[in-house]
Amino acid sequence: MTDLRANPIPVSSADWPPLPLEAWKDTYATLHMWTQIVGKVRLALTPLVNHWWNVPLYVNARGLTTSLMRAGHCEFEISFDFIDHQLRIHTADDRTQTLALKPRTVADFYQEFRSALAILGINVKLWPMPVEIPDPIRFDQDTTHRAYHPEYANRFWRVLANLDAVFSQFRAGFIGKSSPVHFFWGSFDFCVTRFSGRRAPERPGADSITREAYSHEVISAGFWPGSGKIAGPAFYAYAAPAPKGFAEASVRPTSAYYDKDLSEFILMYDSVRAASDPAATLLAFLQSTYEAGASLGNWDRKDLEKETNLASSAV
C-alpha cells in the first residue's frame, strides 16, 4: 500500500472540516449559480474536448480557477478566492478586475461580472440560463439566490483541496485514458473518470451532452456537497454501463453502500472525517469501487494499471 504520509495529504480528521448541508445550503445554491456564470465563459471560449473536459474548473491554492483562456488577443484567468472572498479576472498583461464575494443576488453578481469583462475588453456571448438544476432562473433575473457565508465557502474549498490531493494520487495509479481531476460547475461535483478504451452501447433517448459524456465505458468517482436524496456531503462511484453483479460487489470501507435509486455506491463524507486516516479510507473507497467495476466488466486491468495498487489493504 502507498505510504500516504510520504505525500502531502491530510490524514487527521481535524484537517477535514465539517460541512453540514443544512448550515450552508443557501450559500451552496448561490455559489452554484456564480460558478455556472464563470464556467459558461470557459465553455464559450475553449475548444470542445471529448466528454466536455474543456468546461470544468480546477482547485488551486485559494479556491477554484478556470485556468488560462483566450478571447481574441486577450489571455486571462478567472479565479474564485475563498480566503479573501473575491472573484478575480486577471489578464496576461497584468490588468485585474475584482468582484466581492458577499451576500448579493445572482442578478447583481452577473451584471457586475459582465461589466468587469467589458472593462478588460473581453467579449464573450453567454447563454444566461443555469443548467442541470430544477426550476432554473435566468442569471440576470435571479434575485432569489443571495446568501454567502464566508466560513462555509472557505470550508468547501478546504474540502476540495484535500480531495484534490487524494483523487490525484488515485488517478496516478491508472495509465489508461482518464479525465483530469476536475470540478463540474453544472452538477457542482468534483470527480475523476477512468475509461476501459471500449465504446459503450448507445443510450436510447439520451441528449447530445449525455451521449458524448458516456460514449465509452467508464468508471467514475466523485464528491457532492449534498444533492437530491443524499442529504449531506458524500462520495459516489459508478460504472457505466454497470456490469452484472456490480451492485452486489463488496467494497471498502464497510460504511459504503449501494444506492439502488442512484445506481451508485455512496460513502458519506462524515464517515471519512470520522476515520483515523481519512485519506486512506477515501482511497480504499475509490480503489475498491473501481476494482469491482473493472473486474466484473472485464477491463484489461494489466494494461490499464500501474503495478502498484494504491489502496490494496482493507480499511
- Asked if residue 52 lies in contact with residue 208, where contact means CB atoms within 8 angstroms, the answer is no
Task: Looking at the structure, tell me whether residues 182 and 294 fall in a common domain.
Answer: yes
Model confidence over 46-91: pLDDT tens digits? 999 999 999 999 999 999 999 999 999 999 999 999 999 999 999 9
Provide the domain limits for residue 88: 22-141
pLDDT at 266: 98
> Of 245, 238, 209, which is closest to residue 222 (Cα–Cα)?
238
Same domain, 170 and 297: yes
| Cα dihedral value 207, 209, 211, 215, nearest 10 | 180
56 and 78 in a single domain? The answer is: yes
pLDDT of 129? 98
Helix (H) or strand (E) holding 89: strand 86-91
pLDDT given for residue 306 in this prediction = 92
pLDDT in the model for residue 307: 82
* Res 23: pLDDT: 96
Beta strands in 160-296 (DSSP E): 182-184, 189-199, 216-224, 234-240, 257-259, 264-268
CB distance 272 to 15 below 8 Å:
no
Last residue of one domain, picked from the residues 77, 110, 141: 141
Same domain? For 161 and 291 the reply is: yes
Element (H, E) at 98: strand 96-100
pLDDT tens for the chain, 315 residues: list them.
444 445 557 666 679 999 999 999 999 999 999 999 999 999 999 999 999 999 999 999 999 999 999 999 999 999 999 999 999 999 999 999 999 999 999 999 999 999 999 999 999 999 999 999 999 999 999 999 999 999 999 999 999 999 999 999 999 999 999 999 999 999 999 999 999 999 999 888 888 888 888 899 999 999 999 977 898 999 999 999 999 999 999 999 999 999 999 999 999 999 999 999 999 999 999 999 999 999 999 999 999 999 865 444 444
Predicted pLDDT at 308: 65
**How many independent structural domains does the chain possess?**
2
Grid coordinates representing 18?
A: 465539517
Q: Among residues 141, 176, 203, which one ends one of the domains?
A: 141
- The pTM (predicted TM-score) of the whole model is 0.93
The answer, yes or no, to whether the previous bond of 241 is cis (omega within 30 of 0) is yes
